[in-house]
């Protein structure tokens, strides 16, 4: 089950947020700055058996602060802001096999997460998200969640264990183009952190 925690509700879910951030640090070496944490929406996967076992963080970031492969995806001024996401799923598989229970969990996690990112992206009027994914998460997103991408750079192209992608949010891939800066200086995949919606109840 996914729990969506908006910025105004962070104080009600400190334990869940701290657990998710700890997973990022341990498994991916990723730390979200306190400033970014304050503006982020956390999507937490949690149950009574495993506790917090994964999720995602949806947050605004300056183009110039993105990793270079993500920066190169977007033909946009570097001082603009784009909505990003980072995800993790941390479940250990015994003997490398996938039980029916875990198969169902994987499918529910990736499908529901994709749907949730689509809802958040729609609120911000964005049709894409630049994301840095572990190779395993990239493969699983395709296999279990049918995620769609505008473009991607795979590990063999970067000598890295990560895949850099521009995620096409649900219903957006048919546009068949990577969002770019428009003539009036606006882009559909951009927004400013000041427009964060904080009135939607936690799910």
Measured distance CA(177)–CA(35) in Å, rounded = 32
Would you say residue 200 lies in a domain?
no
Burial class (CB in 10 A: 0-12, 13-18, 19+), 124: buried
Would you say residue 63 lies in a domain?
yes
Would you say residue 202 lies in a domain?
no
CB 184 within 8 A of CB 51: no
Confidence tier at 158 by pLDDT (50, 70, 90): low
Q: Would you state the pLDDT for residue 99? A: 84
pLDDT at 51 exceeding the cut of 80: yes
How many domains are contained in the chain?
A: 1
The pTM (predicted TM-score) of the whole model is 0.81
For 74, the domain range is 2-195
- As a whole number, mean pLDDT of residues 44-67 equals 93
Contacts of 5 (CB under 8 A, 6+ apart): 12, 13, 16, 17, 41, 42, 43, 44, 202
Would you say residue 201 lies in a domain?
no
pLDDT at 146 exceeding the cut of 60: yes
CATH classification of the domain holding 35: 3.40.630
Q: Would you state the pLDDT for residue 202? A: 37
Measured distance CA(146)–CA(117) in Å, rounded = 13
Would you say residue 24 lies in a domain?
yes
Confidence tier at 54 by pLDDT (50, 70, 90): very high
- As a whole number, mean pLDDT of residues 47-66 equals 93
Would you say residue 26 lies in a domain?
yes
* 17-36 pLDDT tens trace: 999 999 999 999 999 999 99
Would you say residue 36 lies in a domain?
yes
Measured distance CA(102)–CA(94) in Å, rounded = 11
Measured distance CA(28)–CA(11) in Å, rounded = 25
């Amino acid at each position: 089950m996914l729990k969506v925690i908006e910025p105004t509700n962070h104080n009600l879910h400190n334990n869940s947020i701290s657990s998710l951030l700890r997973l990022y640090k341990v498994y991916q070496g990723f730390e979200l700055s306190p400033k970014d944490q304050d503006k982020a929406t956390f999507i937490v996967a949690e149950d009574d058996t495993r506790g917090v076992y994964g999720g995602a963080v949806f947050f605004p970031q300056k183009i110039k602060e993105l990793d270079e492969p993500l920066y190169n995806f977007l033909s946009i001024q570097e001082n603009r802001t784009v909505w990003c996401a980072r995800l993790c799923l941390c479940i250990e598989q015994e003997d490398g096999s996938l039980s029916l229970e875990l198969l169902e969990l994987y499918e529910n996690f990736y499908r529901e997460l994709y749907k949730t990112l689509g809802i958040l992206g729609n609120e911000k009027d964005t049709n894409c998200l630049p994301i840095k994914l572990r190779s395993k998460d990239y493969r699983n997103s395709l296999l279990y969640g049918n995620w769609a991408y505008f473009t991607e750079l795979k590990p063999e192209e970067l000598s890295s264990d990560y895949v850099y992608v521009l995620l096409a949010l649900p219903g957006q891939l048919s546009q068949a183009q990577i969002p770019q800066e428009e003539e009036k200086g606006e882009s559909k995949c951009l927004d400013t952190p000041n427009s964060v919606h904080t009135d939607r109840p936690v799910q």
